Structure 1
Amino acid sequence: MISLESRVYPLPSHARPSRKEAQTVYTLAGKRFFDLLVTSLVTTLVLVWLAPLIALAIVLTSQGPVFVVQLRTGRNGRPFRHLKFRTTAPLFQNGFAKHEPEVTAIGRFLRSTHLDEIPNFFNVLAGDMSIVGPRPHTLQYDAQHWTLPGYRDRHTVRPGITGLVQTRIYQKEISGLIQMPHSFRYDRWYVRRCSLLLDFKICWWAISGRFKAAG
């Protein structure tokens, strides 16, 4: 039911993030309470019936596991197993190997609606992720970019299901920040200003953005 698709690219010890960033009452305790509260509501109202339906659709329409697990970089540079619904057909199928994974019909729908990311809520319950935060990257990607000034600061908080980059940056709606050449700098901006109000705003932007896209 689960496949693991990742190689291990550990961050160098001197690339681990500093703990000086984001040490506030909210980030130390309140943010985790917010995560558990939101996840409990989403699980009770949505996941309890939607997740089984998606899993059944994946099983009935293609061969392979329901979930795909990738190693991603978490808080303080620690790797964790990142869960998503599988959206591609197996690379080896019917005795033939494929050069690239083929996105399934149900997979295209899940990607377009971001429903393939629903299992991220299980990562939140496990304490590996947060509702709001920098999106987690693969270990390989982080190992290649850790030398960028300030890059490791994004790992001082738990990675999020959604974040500032996903909700506003791509829409170019934050004045004064648009000239920054790398999205991780927006993540750093979020880390330094993380608060309950900002997390509420990002959640609202994410939800309203989904409705606008659907409309």
Structure 2
Amino acid sequence: MSNLESLDVAKLRRKLRETAEAAGDVTLAETTLSPAANRVASQFRETHKSPAMLIGQLGIFEFTLLLALTILGLVLTAGTDGILPQLGIAAAIAFGYSLLSHMADSYQITTLRQPLRSVKRCIIALVLSFALAGITTPVLAPTPFLMSWLPGTGLAACLIFGLGRFALALALKRWTRNGLIERRAVIVGGGEPAKQLIRALEQQEDNDIRICGIFDDRGGDRSPNIVAGYPKLGTVAELVEFARGTRIDMLIISLPISAEDRILQLLKKLWVLPVDIRLAAHANNLRFRPRSYSHVGEVPMLDLMDKPIRDWDSVAKRAFDLFFATLAILLLWPVMVATALAVKFTSKGPVLFVQRRHGFNNEVINVLKFRSMYTEMSDPTAKLAVTKNDPRVTPVGRFIRKTSLDELPQLFNVLRGDLSLVGPRPHAVLAQTRDRLYGEIVEGYFARHRVKPGVTGWAQISGWRGEVDTDDKIKARTACDLYYIENWSLLFDLKILLLTPIRLMNTENAY
């Protein structure tokens, strides 16, 4: 028996992640894509709707629709007098339907694509939720009109939801064919394993996986230029550049699990990308516990890396950002106006300073700050970091930098969507320490760009605010950023946000 046969998949994933994190990052040198890769990339630069987002929207819509139908039935039956207790019944029915639908896998994309199966599970959940209301409500809250209200409302709900689910199944088939709903995947590794994987994916009925191409370092017979009708677009190093310029959801590694060293080498380059990384397991004789696998249709996959803050988590984080950024602007606008006036009337030049920084997935964004330097001495590239008593900094600039008032315009970056309120702080594109770029100092530095950067972050409230003048400081910042990404939650964001004003009182390293 091989050592891998007794290895738990969680341990395998942990070993892969730890080795990748410790081993290094992609090179900073720009990689030129082939003409074929550029043509394919141009087709996938636009955003698309993921199945997970569609399912969430459907769940919210059906809950709201059922709540509205039951309330309408109450009003038509009993009028509006004394309706308040009955609203609880309506909410209980809608909640019960949602719970039963999830328990019956009614919101699985494979179920939603099959009209009869989807309608059947939907109606069963409706009947059960109305039946439970009919059994429990007379005991808990007797209502004389209940028997005339429940059957009619339940029948109307079954008819409306049934027709809706049937129409949705037909629409899903059309949307999938047109590429409006899909998961975009790239195959890593060519040759026969890639061919078997592609054939297995193509056999899935109503498959939502869109294969964008194949990337492999090998050539010749081991990895021909065309595999199962799909072109090989380049090497793994070129894949990193390709994925940063397109909207890719998943990388599927088509290598046997026994090729552990090769998989680790791939992850050293790929783990910095904000995508799911899966290892195809359909052709392996080795089998782990069933819960160790995720599936694309019937094709088993081992989850090596997950995209952080995905789908509805990203929606929740965006809502968090919009709410608190708007609140901060409403509360702090007098401070912002006063700061702008102080900058304007104490030195020549514009009030705002715009700097190019790395954003999500290494995209370059323009970050706003109140100008703190003399205009003729400003350094948009940030190649020369600000030091203590730096002559380039104006007297007003020295104060607003110590108090972080210069960062307040970034609230508008948050509203625009370039930044999040909380996340890894965005660094200037050419930021460096002692003539070395950050990416040359820190192994895995670019993995901090797997999420949107933030106005404040875990590193800043952990004591790593201010000048980065040593290798250890940027390493510590990056370690904090990676910890934040791995442990993100809205409560974690709220904790960082609440602690930020307290930590700003320590101005020792801010100048």
Structure 1 and Structure 2 fold alike (TM over 0.5)? yes
C-alpha contact 2:464 2:476 (8 A) present in aligned 1: no
Q: Distance in 1 between matches of 2:316 and 2:30?
A: 28
1:112 to partner: Cα distance: 1.1
Moved more, 199-208 or 135-144: 135-144
Q: Cα distance 1:91–1:198, how it changes in 2: closer, same or farther (>3 A)?
A: same
In 2: Cα distance, 1:209 partner to 1:106 partner: 21
For 1:136, the equivalent position in structure 2 comes to: 426
For residue 10 of structure 1, report the CA deviation from its aligned partner: 8.8
Instruction: Count the aligned residue pairs.
Output: 191
CA distance in 1, matches of 2:456, 2:449: 15
Give the one of 58, 77, 94 matched to 2:343. 58
How far the C-alpha of 1:128 sits from its partner, in A, is 0.4
Match in the other structure for 1:96: none
Q: Following the alignment from structure 1 to structure 2, what is the Cα–Cα distance between the partners of residues 10 and 82?
A: 24
Q: 2:456 and 2:342 mapped to 1: Cα distance?
A: 25
For 2:506 and 2:29, the matched residues in 1 are separated by 39
Distance across 1 between alignment mates of 2:499 and 2:349: 34
Offset from partner CA, 1:72-126 (integer Å, 9 cap, x none): 000011101011001111227xxxxxxx862111111101111011111011011
The residue that corresponds to 1:4 in the other structure is none
Q: Which residue of 456, 473, 480 corresponds with 1:162?
A: 456
Matches within 5 A, 1:42-57: 42-47=328-333, 49-57=334-342
Aligned to 2:165: none
Q: Using CA pairs under 8 Å that are at least 6 residues apart, name the structure with larger relative contact order, 1 or 2.
A: 1
1:212 deviates by: 6.5
Q: TM-score, normalised by structure 2?
A: 0.34
| 1:28 and 2:284 correspond | no
In the alignment, does 2:207 pair up with 1:207?
A: no
User: Secondary structure of 2:373's match?
Assistant: coil
After superposition, residues 9-158 of structure 1 pair within 5 angstroms as: 14=240, 16=244, 17-20=272-275, 21-25=307-311, 27-47=313-333, 49-91=334-376, 102-141=392-431, 144-146=437-439, 148-158=442-452
Q: Highest CA radius of gyration, 1 or 2?
A: 2
Instruction: Report deviation, 1:211.
Output: 4.8
Amino acid at match of 1:46: L
1:192 corresponds to which of 486, 501, 504: 486
Q: Does the 8 Å contact 1:66/1:85 carry over to 2?
A: yes
Give the Å deviation of 1:206: 0.8
* 1:182 partner SS: helix
CA–CA distance in structure 2, aligned partners of residues 50 and 181 of structure 1: 34
Normalised to the residue count of structure 1, the TM-score between the two structures is 0.78
Alpha-carbon separation, structure 1, partners of 2:415 and 2:463: 27
- Maintained 8 Å contact 2:424/2:458: yes
75-84 or 21-30: bigger deviation? 21-30
In structure 1, the residue matched to 2:105 is: none
On the 8 A contact 2:372/2:401 being kept in 1, the answer is yes
Identity across the alignment (%): 36
Partner Cα separation in structure 1 for residue 398 and residue 461 of structure 2: 21
Distance change (3 Å), C-alpha of 1:23 and 1:54: closer
State the distance in 2 between where 1:28 and 1:121 align. 18
How far does residue 182 in structure 1 lie from its aligned partner after superposition?
A: 3.5
CA change 1:211–1:23 in 2 (3 A) is closer
SS at match of 1:71: strand
Per the alignment, do residues 210 and 169 of structure 1 end up closer, same or farther by CA in structure 2, a change over 3 Å counting? closer
Name which of structure 1's ranges 62-71 and 15-24 shifts more when overlaid on structure 2. Answer: 15-24
Q: 1:146 offset after TM fit, Å? A: 3.6
Q: Distance in 2 between matches of 1:38 and 1:11?
A: 37
Gaps of 5+ in 2: 1-27, 32-237, 245-271, 276-306, 378-389, 466-471
For 2:487 and 2:312, the matched residues in 1 are separated by: 11
**SS state of the match for residue 140, structure 1?**
coil
The whole-number CA distance in structure 1 between the counterparts of 2:426 and 2:29 is 14
Aligned partners of 2:29, 2:358: CA distance in 1, in Å?
Answer: 9
Shift of 1:169: 4.1
Q: Which amino acid counterpart does residue 402 of structure 2 have in structure 1?
A: S
